Structure 1
């Protein structure tokens, strides 16, 4: 099978969506609505309750890490609620917990971890190069496994965990990306410039949707160019302006729109869009299929149509222009970064993660290029005491096969995101798909230990010959474990079976007693 087929999500098992052409990124939810993250948490919680062995999630295992808002005051137990007057009801039995509260500081039983993982990590379907790291969520000795060869592997989309954490660290969870219009002077009609702010989820209209069949619990609200055009038209008319020339400024990002470390056919074949600071529908064709060659121009043409419909005449055709020295006219904001990150991780959104990488570069050193972004990621990690361990990253999504990462780096980043000192990084944890229930793991974990679904949350990673998982597991004693499992020499004909073996390995962490 050609490599790009698997990277579009057509693995032998037909189940991975990390790099699905036309459906591996973005969302099917249209413009969404306010409180998308809250909806996501409620949905995930309901899913988790379906698994009896995961009742501990409801009992507060992750409250410390994943819930910054305290519960409202009120009775904690339904048995304490009195029935209405004159109503005779039987007493409510207090539910008996089926698992202990989570313990974040434990000592790993290295022999137990090895016993749990070995059978699956040595599965021939995973190939000759398999790496693993397991550690308590806080402190303690880690378990490391290398089947043979180097202690680095191609991470695929688990790279998005690192990108997301770095973006939240530099920008903060409440940061928004603004798309605006600016009016500049000149002879004849003034020039109106549409300025891209690097909003990864900017839509072509309030009703727009783009394709992904991946179930998602997080549906962040999205800005769109039609709303921006209407706001702009109202402001222009109020100032007596009814005719403009139209330009667009996408200069926020620098460098090539195609990563040199990607395969040469990625953009021509529609695996990923050109990465720009101004686009709609993540560079997809709003009225057709596939991706457009010039996302910035396409976005501007759609904005022009909406502007004309709102009563403003446009002279000539849209042209690249600078917004410097102009006066702001109108603007629309993206969802907060925390919600964007949750969506990126849950559905493994390639384009959005590459946009976040550019913003990382801008926030750290003012360089909104692929190179600037990755240099900034490395500086952020090192500033927070996280060693690269020889890891080398060239993009933000994990599409590049030149990326190399140690599983320990992924474990360190997840532990960083869970630490009490960094509540701004919580969306990294809340965005991890729940095994067997949400996002890119919705239709996985249906083969191995029954304790896996619901007890494991993990980011997937898939390229041809590569399968990986990185996330959190809760063992039978309620110990919180962080893990990263990687295999990058999988035979293409065994891709589906390798994915099952990787899922089974993660499931065993939920089914073991791995701490002392």
Structure 2
């Protein structure tokens, strides 16, 4: 695609945008997440003090940067934005959105746009109507996990001394992003590696740790995946979706978010992700043990519930830790991984003292949403990933959650902001915002996508042309499958990015 410009001649079209991805994205991330703790409304999201004619030109914060932003410059490292930018006039904004937010075929769109600082509603189309939200449900799960677990929490995968001499127990602690090789401190997927865990286990055994009796003999590997309770699959999920790999039975440890290959994020998943991880660990342990003059018995046995040593008394032989909850939430939102979302929901339930079933995950997430001040009277949840068609959430509830993340008082929620896909650049929005009608939003709109057969949704935030932070949610239900309705959402979000509607 050859370079071109927008009608105003001042903005890069999609071809040019892809040439400056790294530069622009780093600048956007600094603006999005460098928020001062304790500030009720993030300074960068309130807009600059600019004359009204500014909307006729491309403002500095929407231009391609000449240099990388330097963290720590300005109040909280956020540059020139202030709280006096003009708020869009609702009628002017609605006139534009009514021209773009149209279905292609059957179904309807609901939607809402709010000023993030004040909560003022600038556009409302049946925003309180409960609808199937698809993966926008993950916004609720993300906020609940950050509130309960905290953005800095990590999950541990441990090997403990087993109940019989010579046995060791691989114990799942909620990390389903394990890697098969060495731990990678710079990664989220693969931050904890089973090869590293295996080598550490052999060292402990050679040193005689735990009195396992395996320091000079044969090691027997057991698996404890009892952290979660209840059925590993929800009856609310379509068997066809499970077979296609949208979901798999849930366990508290897995490789690659229950994928066979970390490079392939589609297609069928392992149906026993915990045992798959345990078999990989046993293979790595066999390699490490051989070099140390030890041997590993073939096969892995799943330990009976209650047969594993009590956590308080179990001798830990080795341990690896996951990426932080904040990093995992970012990955969950960026890639829209259903499996990771459901595990995060169950870990949130465990964090509140619940047993950790699918129902517990739903209860824990909804309780946190209520505690955030979001009314949940008409909200119905059948899962916490958004795969179930029985979920019912309104566009207003979704924007309430996004607004809490962007400008609420609970600064733990700020950790989710960087995980929102960036239009035309990252995650599930990487290949969108590439046509002339939506290019104005490329690099500027940050939003969580949602897609089911007859459902699409887009909820997120954007700083408009006048420097005002807007939060929005557009939800389509009953749509004609295979139609171009995603383009309608992208055009509508692009309207917000380019709006000088005051």
The reply to whether TM is greater than 0.5 is yes
Q: Which residue of 2 aligns with 1:252?
A: 227
Which range is displaced more, 265-274 or 253-262? 265-274
Structure-2 change in CA distance of 1:104 and 1:359 (3 Å): farther
* Matched positions, count: 430
Checking the alignment, whether the CA contact within 8 Å between 2:109 and 2:477 is kept in structure 1 is: yes
Q: Which residue of 1 aligns with 2:452?
A: 463
| Residue 339 of structure 1: how far off its partner (Å) | 1.1
| Residue 55 of structure 1: how far off its partner (Å) | 3.6
| Residue 267 of structure 1: how far off its partner (Å) | 2.1
Q: Which residue of 2 aligns with 1:291?
A: 269
1:233 equivalenced with 2:223 (yes/no):
no
Structure-2 change in CA distance of 1:176 and 1:241 (3 Å): farther
Matched ranges for 1:119-134 at <5 A: 119-121=99-101, 123-125=102-104, 127-134=106-113
Question: Residues 85-130 of structure 1, C-alpha deviation per residue, up to 9 Å, x if partnerless?
Answer: xxxxxxxxxxxx9xx7364886552212211210122x23163321
Q: Which residue of 1 aligns with 2:159?
A: 181
Structure-2 change in CA distance of 1:201 and 1:403 (3 Å): same
Structure-2 change in CA distance of 1:231 and 1:105 (3 Å): farther
TM-score (norm 2): 0.78
Structure-2 change in CA distance of 1:269 and 1:441 (3 Å): closer
Distance 1:72 1:413 in 2: 27
1:504 equivalenced with 2:491 (yes/no):
yes
Checking the alignment, whether the CA contact within 8 Å between 2:188 and 2:322 is kept in structure 1 is: no
Unaligned runs of 5+ in 2: 1-20, 31-56, 209-214
Q: Which residue of 1 aligns with 2:402?
A: 414
Match of 1:169 among 144, 147, 158: 147
Match of 2:97 among 113, 117, 127: 117
1:437 equivalenced with 2:425 (yes/no):
yes
| Residue 184 of structure 1: how far off its partner (Å) | 2.5
Checking the alignment, whether the CA contact within 8 Å between 2:25 and 2:443 is kept in structure 1 is: no
Match of 2:329 among 338, 341, 361: 341
1:276 equivalenced with 2:254 (yes/no):
no
Question: Residues 197-230 of structure 1, C-alpha deviation per residue, up to 9 Å, x if partnerless?
Answer: 111311222399xxxxxxxx98566112111111
Distance 2:188 2:178 in 1: 13
Which range is displaced more, 292-301 or 462-471? 292-301
Aligned to 1:248, the other structure's residue is in SS state strand
| Residue 450 of structure 1: how far off its partner (Å) | 4.0
Structure-2 change in CA distance of 1:493 and 1:337 (3 Å): closer
Question: Residues 211-259 of structure 1, C-alpha deviation per residue, up to 9 Å, x if partnerless?
Answer: xxxxxx9856611211111111111111135422211011111111112
RMSD: 3.2
Distance 1:437 1:243 in 2: 51
Aligned to 1:145, the other structure's residue is in SS state strand
1:204 equivalenced with 2:173 (yes/no):
no
Unaligned runs of 5+ in 1: 1-39, 61-65, 77-96, 209-216
Distance 2:59 2:134 in 1: 29
